[in-house]
Structure 1
Amino acid sequence: MDVQNPKLLLTLLAEAAVCAGTGIWLLPKLVFFLKTHGVTRLNYNGELIPTGAGMLFGVLILIYWIVGIRTLSLFTLSLCVITVLGWLDDTVGDRTTKGFHGHWRKLVKQGVWTTGMMKAAGTSIVALILTLGMQHTWVYSVLCWFVIVLCTNVINLLDLRPGRALKCSFGLWLVLFIFGNIYTPQAAEIWIPTLISAVLLYREDVQGRLMLGDTGANAFGFALGTAYAFYAPAWLLCVAAVILVSLQWTAERSSITVWIERLPLLRWLDRLGRTP
């Protein structure tokens, strides 16, 4: 961020304040809406709680765009598409079909487009459109596309326990803030509404009072993947790709939860802040 431009800093702070204030006001109303309209799901403890609360992120990204009087960016439009696809999966999706292979088999063998397969296809197309305009070699652009798609899915796969997806997201954002070129107005368009939404949702999520749902987990993953694709150095992007592939492979072959439970530090971090 250009610290020599106080007007820019004040503008971004004002926009962030409006975005945060709107989110604080909107969150309880969104939770009430989800409850009264039956947008709920049993969590891992068998408790029925609201899901799809990540819709807050989709709303706040639009608020941030409106307040800043910006031209509608490709990222903002793309995130809205991802949010809508996630919302469809939360509300009308088939919960019996699991994993990419499960959705793929259903498409190939039965000719059925599950909402999960629609998400995968939609994310791939949107990520492709985003990366087509990058001024890089085609190999690097493919790597960026790969990271966006995988990050969108992996953060969603982590959303099986309270707070897990957001904790992982916070950690990856911290790494990007340390090593990435993230301090620009263009990058701020991604991380300001993303982190405000994540912080507002975190307490309710980690205490098991709501779920991000595919609506939120996919959107947070997409924003994170896009930020890495555009603002991470090449070496960090490669490291992120390896980590994402490993998590995807673990989820498909066994269980991320089992893997976390075997490692004391990860188990402690996973349970941190969670209501017993």
Structure 2
Amino acid sequence: MSVLEFVLIALGFVFGLGATAWLTVRYDLRKANFRGERIPSIAGLAFVLAGDFIYGFEWLAGGEASRIFAAYFLTLMGFGILGLFDDLAGDRSVGGFRGHFRALAKGRLTTGAVKALGGGVLSLGAGWLIGDGNLWRFILAAALIALSANSLNLLDLRPGRCLFAFFCGAAALTVVLANVHQLNVGFSLFVAVGMAAILYPMDAGGQAMIGDTGANAFGGVLGVAASVILPPVWQAVVIALLIAFQFWCERHSLSKTIDGNPVLRGLDRKIGVRR
């Protein structure tokens, strides 16, 4: 990583964190958390602003990886906007894919349906950039991005869960990068890991929420990284696992399942505050 890239990351982080803090104070962007405490609710916006500052610069700089940086930029910007829309205007009376699309079938457009439809279009756009004319790669990338974004969003019900899952996914991808000696390919992922490390103490400690803004953004970026780093067979395996997770979450309560299993409950309480 060059000195210029270090400076770019530093500037992006300062911009993202500073702008988010100002917006939170200026417009009192706080919500009640699971304990009923009013805390900042869009901390994840810092990643959207910082990441797109960095990815946008790298994209405009051109080079062999410009299409990949464009995919990161589009994914982060799009999912960030959709998540922010849901954070600010979301209707929590309807939940799950089935709930949102049942409402849509009855003529009621929920913010969740907007996010699902918009996320699908965004995933197709980013997948097209990554596929670069390869139909199979396009399909895999689009599926990975959409499923990763929604999966991390499903986990963001308690402090720390979403970002912990992001760290696990990023660590697995880093191992793959190290084994093929292509750590330079992971620059964009490392940017996301850096911002996640800054936000994690606040999120896990119940001092701020990353919100749908952050959960969708981190998930989408993780999906882009997986589509760039993993071989096609492993991408297909991950997609199958994520689809299974989506269906499972439609029928079960994740929090109740975790609380009912001593091992999962113990791990969950180490991830973030629960009281």
- TM-score over 0.5 (shorter chain): yes
Paired amino acid for 1:241:
I
- In structure 2, how many angstroms separate the alpha carbons of the residues matched to 1:232 and 1:265? 30
State the match for 1:19 in structure 2.
Answer: 12
SS at match of 1:209: coil
Please point out which of 44, 59, 62 is paired with 2:49: 59
Structure 1 residue 236: deviation in Å? 2.8
- In structure 1, how many angstroms separate the alpha carbons of the residues matched to 2:112 and 2:61? 32
SS at match of 1:41: strand
Structure 1 residue 41: deviation in Å? 2.5
Paired amino acid for 1:15:
L
- Please state if 1:120 is matched with 2:116: yes
- Please state if 1:254 is matched with 2:245: no
Please point out which of 32, 48, 52 is paired with 1:42: 32
State the match for 1:102 in structure 2.
Answer: 99
RMSD: 2.4
Structure 1 residue 28: deviation in Å? 4.2
8 Å CA contact 1:260–1:266 kept in 2: the answer is yes
8 Å CA contact 2:127–2:141 kept in 1: the answer is yes
- In structure 2, how many angstroms separate the alpha carbons of the residues matched to 1:67 and 1:131? 20
State the match for 1:183 in structure 2.
Answer: 183
Paired amino acid for 1:120:
A
User: Percentage identity across aligned positions?
Assistant: 32
8 Å CA contact 1:82–1:218 kept in 2: the answer is yes
Paired amino acid for 1:59:
L
SS at match of 1:184: helix
Structure 2 alignment gaps of length 5 or more: 63-68
Structure 1 residue 67: deviation in Å? 5.8
Paired amino acid for 2:2:
L
- In structure 1, how many angstroms separate the alpha carbons of the residues matched to 2:224 and 2:36? 34
State the match for 2:196 in structure 1.
Answer: 198
- Please state if 1:82 is matched with 2:73: no
When residues 98 and 184 of structure 1 are mapped into structure 2, their CA distance, relative to the original with a 3 A threshold, is same
- In structure 1, how many angstroms separate the alpha carbons of the residues matched to 2:10 and 2:237? 34
How many equivalent residue pairs? 263
SS at match of 1:102: helix
State the match for 1:4 in structure 2.
Answer: none
When residues 138 and 226 of structure 1 are mapped into structure 2, their CA distance, relative to the original with a 3 A threshold, is same
SS at match of 2:2: helix
SS at match of 1:49: strand
- In structure 2, how many angstroms separate the alpha carbons of the residues matched to 1:122 and 1:255? 25
Paired amino acid for 2:29:
V
TM-score by length of 1: 0.85
8 Å CA contact 1:19–1:193 kept in 2: the answer is no
SS at match of 2:238: helix
Structure 1 residue 159: deviation in Å? 0.4
- Please state if 1:166 is matched with 2:163: yes
SS at match of 2:183: coil
- Please state if 1:156 is matched with 2:153: yes
Which digits, 9 at most, give the CA deviation of each residue in 1:255-274, with x for residues without a partner? 11122234444323322153
Structure 1 residue 163: deviation in Å? 0.6
The 5 Å alignment of 1:255-274 reads 255-274=253-272
Structure 1 residue 74: deviation in Å? 3.8
When residues 38 and 30 of structure 1 are mapped into structure 2, their CA distance, relative to the original with a 3 A threshold, is closer
Structure 1 residue 145: deviation in Å? 1.6
Which digits, 9 at most, give the CA deviation of each residue in 1:39-74, with x for residues without a partner? 333222222222122111111023324665635824
Paired amino acid for 2:52:
L
Structure 1 alignment gaps of length 5 or more: 1-7
Structure 1 residue 15: deviation in Å? 2.3
Which digits, 9 at most, give the CA deviation of each residue in 1:145-178, with x for residues without a partner? 2121111111011000001000000001000000
Structure 1 residue 183: deviation in Å? 2.1
When residues 216 and 40 of structure 1 are mapped into structure 2, their CA distance, relative to the original with a 3 A threshold, is same
Out of 264-273 and 227-236, give the one that drifted further. 264-273
